[in-house]
Structure 1
Amino acid sequence: MSYPMYLVDAFVDQPFSGNPAGVCIVDKEPPAGWMQNVALEMNQAETAFVHKRADGSWDLRWFTPQVEVSLCGHATLAAAHALWLHAGETVATLEFHTLSGRLAATRIGDEIQLDFPSDFPQFIAEVPTVLLQLLGDQPQWFGQGRDDLIAVVDSADAVRNFVPNAEQIASFTSRGLILTAPGDAGSGLDMVSRFFAPKVGINEDPVTGSAHCLLACYWGHRLGKTHLRAQQASPRGGLLTLDWQGERVLLRGKARTMLSGEFQG
């Protein structure tokens, strides 16, 4: 078997930025074990697998090198980009059937807008001792979303300078940890964040769309805003525009194809 395969950088603001994702376009849904093996072979944070339904919509699944995940923003953006640029899609809005329900991707100029479910974090009073040791201080706020924990700290520099320990983070997370703070004064950023998910094989994710479904809710409520600008301050870095619309979050960013070819296997 051979299938078209692309490596796409999502949420880019310059070359070699954003989050790389594999995108594999198949003619029918392969076995889950095969997709997991392909994701391991690709060795990206996520690889997306898409195949077209008779009604013109697409089935979409995401795999890390270790597990299937229920929601992935950057690989969805990458998949939409690949379908428009390489697979001949012409519709303005692509519809995807996923483990997180029906999702949409829409072309807006040179950007792609994703329509995702909101993720409202719930406050947790007791902060894990290991996290306190890693941070060296009590976070401003600590909570739990659907899959991930969120810890809010005082400054963007505290986020950028944080030194993670994958083993320790894996010890108290079910999937991942979001570390976030207000954007730097005068930067035009509402928030800065980093995301760590060693439990699913991602020590640090470059840019995480699903985490921003939670961040949009937290910062939107805290700042009293529905339109937000976000930076994920990983070594690669990435920028996102967020519109919080109650039960939905619209995430917008750019994508760029870095490699294209065929997967043989």
Structure 2
Amino acid sequence: MSQIEVYLIRAFSISGQGGNLAGVVLDADKLTDQQKQSIAKAVGVSETAFISQSTVADYSISFFTPTMEVDFCGHATLSAFWLLHHLQLIPAGEYQQETKAGILPVEVLLNGDILMSQSLPIWFSEFNAEEIAPMLGIQPSLIIQSALPIQAISTGLMDVLIPVPYGVLDCLDIDSDAITCFCQQHHCVGFHVFEMNLPEAPYTASCRNFAPAVGITEESATGSSSGALACYLNQYFGYHHAVFEQGRAMQMSSRIVTQLSLSNGELTRVKVGGEGAFYKKITIET
């Protein structure tokens, strides 16, 4: 048996509070995938990042939920680089991370906030409200009245983006079993439900993310889904910048900033960022 130190970091926190907890393991080169999975299950947060050396980037990072490995995780990426900077292992600057979703740039800002690049969006199937609404415990007409599509998009992981009218987000009654079956059938990670806020609000949209198929009943900040939603809002509203709130229903509010770069009308870069905060350090035996 060996003891592994795991740092728990609040990703996308607001003034050090809320956010989404991610585990981070440094110097993970000697750990097997089986050990990583065991550690992630013991840690019990939605994702744990394992940082290793890379021959093609500054770091290689793998991501494990309590039940499986995933190709990419935004909030765990933020946590990993925030921790490296917090421990003075890296200065502010630009870095490359090797992931199963590709080699992706990450920027550590002078104030310690993290801005990470995601894959350019891949647009998948659209779905109808009659199929999706019962899994959220709402009437299909509520989704239809938004006049926006239910769309599966990936900027690293595929989520189904679901618009609901303002005021409906906190009233959802989730059928986790049905969402799990749907996501397994359609090879997606989860549902990212959002409501557009009023123009004077500090957040462009408020969001909730449900991914029971990968062991996450609800998540308080989802970086990969936020990148996908930013691309969606660019497509339908022309937004280049958006700020999202997530986790309100969990009393773990998070703030997620997105920036898009375009050239001749074509997306060239998707960035998602925010602050991190130290929560605690734990030891796991493996």
Instruction: Return the TM-score normalized by structure 1.
Output: 0.91
Aligned residues: 264
User: CA offset at residue 118 of structure 1?
Assistant: 3.0
| RMSD over aligned Cα atoms | 2.1
Tell me whether 189-198 or 179-188 shows the greater mean CA deviation: 179-188
Work out whether 1:203 is the aligned partner of 2:199.
Answer: no
Q: Deviations over 1:96-115 (max 9, x none)?
A: 10001112221223221111
User: CA offset at residue 262 of structure 1?
Assistant: 4.4
Map of 2:63 onto structure 1: 62
Map of 2:46 onto structure 1: 45
1:84 to 1:158, Cα distance in 2 relative to 1, 3 A: same
Partner-residue secondary structure (3-state), 1:184: coil
**Alignment match of 1:239 (pick from 249, 252, 255):** 255
Map of 2:230 onto structure 1: 216
Work out whether 1:194 is the aligned partner of 2:231.
Answer: no
Distance in 2 (CA, whole Å) between partners of 1:119 and 1:158 is 27
Partner-residue secondary structure (3-state), 2:179: helix
Partner-residue secondary structure (3-state), 2:168: helix
**Structure 1 residues 101-120: aligned runs within 5 Å:** 101-110=102-111, 111-120=113-122
Q: Contact 2:164–2:194 at 8 Å: present in 1 too?
A: yes
Q: Contact 2:92–2:110 at 8 Å: present in 1 too?
A: no
Q: Contact 1:130–1:168 at 8 Å: present in 2 too?
A: no
Q: Deviations over 1:73-96 (max 9, x none)?
A: 000000001111226223522321
Tell me whether 169-178 or 123-132 shows the greater mean CA deviation: 123-132
User: CA offset at residue 122 of structure 1?
Assistant: 4.3
Work out whether 1:160 is the aligned partner of 2:177.
Answer: no
Q: Deviations over 1:131-173 (max 9, x none)?
A: 3462222313211123211111121x21122222211221222
Map of 1:20 onto structure 2: 21
**Alignment match of 1:253 (pick from 268, 271, 274):** 274
Partner-residue secondary structure (3-state), 1:188: coil
**One-letter code aligned to 2:181:** S
Q: Which runs of 5+ in 2 are unaligned?
A: 262-266
Distance in 2 (CA, whole Å) between partners of 1:171 and 1:190 is 31
Distance in 2 (CA, whole Å) between partners of 1:263 and 1:82 is 18
**One-letter code aligned to 2:246:** Q
**Structure 1 residues 5-154: aligned runs within 5 Å:** 5-26=6-27, 28-53=29-54, 57-86=58-87, 88-90=89-91, 92-110=93-111, 111-122=113-124, 124-127=126-129, 129=131, 131-132=133-134, 134-138=137-141, 139=143, 140=146, 141-146=149-154, 147-154=158-165
Distance in 1 (CA, whole Å) between partners of 2:260 and 2:206 is 17
Distance in 2 (CA, whole Å) between partners of 1:56 and 1:223 is 35
Distance in 2 (CA, whole Å) between partners of 1:125 and 1:88 is 45
Q: Contact 2:47–2:76 at 8 Å: present in 1 too?
A: yes
Distance in 2 (CA, whole Å) between partners of 1:191 and 1:130 is 20
**One-letter code aligned to 2:151:** G
Tell me whether 104-113 or 47-56 shows the greater mean CA deviation: 47-56
Distance in 2 (CA, whole Å) between partners of 1:193 and 1:91 is 30
Q: Deviations over 1:58-85 (max 9, x none)?
A: 1100000001111110000000011112
Q: Deviations over 1:169-213 (max 9, x none)?
A: 212223200111212342132211110000000000110000011
Distance in 1 (CA, whole Å) between partners of 2:49 and 2:90 is 17
Partner-residue secondary structure (3-state), 1:74: helix
Instruction: Return the TM-score normalized by structure 2.
Output: 0.85
